[in-house]
């Protein structure tokens, strides 16, 4: 215990974080088991000990940012930990995002309840990065994002648009009402589909509980906002092959996804275990390799810093509305989601994560694409 405390305290000091210090980003330890558990499990250990109340931090988001900027995440990997080793080996050898596993994340995460998500998100229920240029609040920033997507796709009346990962139908409602499109959306979450159908009742929208590999038909435009993180690197070729087959010759495909500047073996083990099972963050190389031969890469827009602002706004909403959900969720859940939202904000603030909007056209397309920025 004493050795673990000395080692971890020294490691944290390299990131400018003092154990039981007086800065808002310093860690306050409440249980001495914190040291050995974190050393043995690293990122998984940080999250699990926070959930158990072993430590606290006034500015958890800033602490994580400093930790990641110091690159301690690269220096310490507990390869002697059998569960963690199994996690990385599974990611290497298994298809964690197969059709059989595809609906798992919907059941675990997206089906937590529409009331829960509506209290945290904006009126369009956008559970993806907002665009904060000229925005004063989350609602404006998410509407900016929606309109930017529509403008980048050059939507026009009667376009038939496919959305892969339709969420709660916010994009569908916005695009149908403003641009008079026809819409088809799919999701692996029953709760999302039910909500989207009610939201868009009476509009030209069709929502189906379906894995992206079962989509049929041809579309003028395809959009996927915040769903690609659930596809997995072993399925990228199939995902883009499907998009190619479903897109008309001169159509446009917009992909909105979190990305990483480094190709990785697996997702963060704590995020995998508690938040997004079987998720995976792509790198530049993994995307470009998967689209080669089928698509022109017309535009690549990175606005990852906006995710920091988005996550902090979600956290404020989550915290301010927590009293509404205390009968359904316990304090363990609160600390889990607090850690999730604030640690992810720190992740983007440290620029370890990016947010990309990518425009693709089919290799045989004859249309000239002009990049759009608001």
Looking at residue 228, what DSSP letter applies? G
For the chain, residues classed under CATH 3.40.50.150 are 104-304+353-362
- pLDDT of the residue at 39: 85
pTM for this predicted structure: 0.91
Name all contacts of 128-132 with Cβ < 8 Å and 24+ positions apart: 128/167, 128/225, 128/226, 128/256, 129/226, 129/256, 129/258, 129/303, 129/304, 129/306, 129/307, 129/310, 129/355, 130/306, 130/309, 130/310, 130/313, 131/303, 131/306, 131/374, 132/306, 132/309, 132/310
Would you write out the chain's pLDDT as a tens digit for each of its 374 residues? 578 898 889 989 999 999 999 999 999 999 999 999 898 888 889 999 999 999 999 999 999 999 999 987 655 444 444 444 443 434 443 444 445 444 444 455 777 889 999 999 999 999 999 999 999 999 999 999 999 999 999 999 999 999 999 999 999 999 999 999 999 999 988 999 999 999 999 999 999 999 999 999 999 999 999 999 999 888 899 999 999 999 999 999 999 999 999 888 678 889 988 998 878 899 999 999 999 999 999 999 999 999 999 999 999 999 999 999 998 899 999 999 999 999 999 999 999 999 999 999 999 999 899 999 99
- Output the pLDDT for position 108: 54
Active site residues: 344
Class level of CATH domain 104-304+353-362: alpha beta
């Amino acid at each position: 215990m004493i050795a673990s405390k000395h080692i971890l305290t020294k490691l944290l000091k390299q990131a400018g974080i003092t154990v039981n210090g007086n800065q808002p980003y310093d860690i306050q330890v409440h249980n001495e088991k914190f040291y050995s558990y974190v050393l043995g499990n690293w990122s998984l250990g940080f999250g699990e000990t926070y959930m158990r109340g072993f430590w606290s931090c006034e500015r958890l988001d800033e602490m994580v940012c400093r930790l990641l900027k110091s690159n301690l995440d690269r220096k310490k990997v507990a390869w002697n930990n059998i569960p963690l080793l199994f996690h990385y080996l599974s990611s290497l050898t298994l298809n964690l995002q197969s059709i059989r596993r595809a609906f798992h994340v919907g059941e675990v995460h997206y089906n937590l309840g529409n009331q829960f998500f509506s209290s945290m998100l904006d009126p369009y229920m956008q559970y993806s990065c907002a665009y904060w240029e000229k925005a004063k609040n989350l609602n404006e920033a998410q509407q900016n994002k929606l309109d930017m997507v529509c403008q980048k796709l050059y939507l026009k009346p009667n376009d038939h648009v496919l959305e892969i990962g339709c969420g709660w139908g916010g994009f569908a409602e916005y695009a149908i009402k403003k641009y008079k499109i026809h819409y088809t959306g799919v999701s692996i979450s029953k709760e999302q589909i039910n909500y989207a159908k009610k939201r868009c009742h009476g509009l030209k929208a069709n929502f189906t509980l379906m894995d992206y590999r079962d989509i049929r038909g041809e579309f003028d435009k395809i959009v996927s906002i915040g769903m690609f993180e659930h596809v997995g690197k072993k399925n990228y070729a199939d995902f883009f092959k499907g998009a190619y087959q479903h897109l008309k010759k001169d159509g446009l495909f917009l992909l909105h996804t979190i990305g990483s500047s480094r190709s990785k073996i697996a997702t963060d083990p704590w995020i995998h275990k508690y938040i997004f099972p079987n998720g995976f963050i792509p790198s530049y190389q993994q995307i470009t390799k998967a689209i080669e031969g089928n698509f022109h890469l017309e535009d690549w827009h990175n606005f990852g810093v906006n995710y920091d602002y988005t996550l902090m706004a979600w956290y404020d909403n989550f915290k301010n509305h927590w009293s509404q959900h205390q009968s359904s969720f316990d304090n363990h859940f609160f600390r889990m989601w607090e850690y999730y939202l604030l640690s992810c904000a720190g992740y983007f603030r440290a620029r370890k994560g990016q947010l990309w909007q990518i425009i693709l056209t089919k290799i045989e397309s004859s249309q000239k694409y002009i990049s759009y920025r608001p």
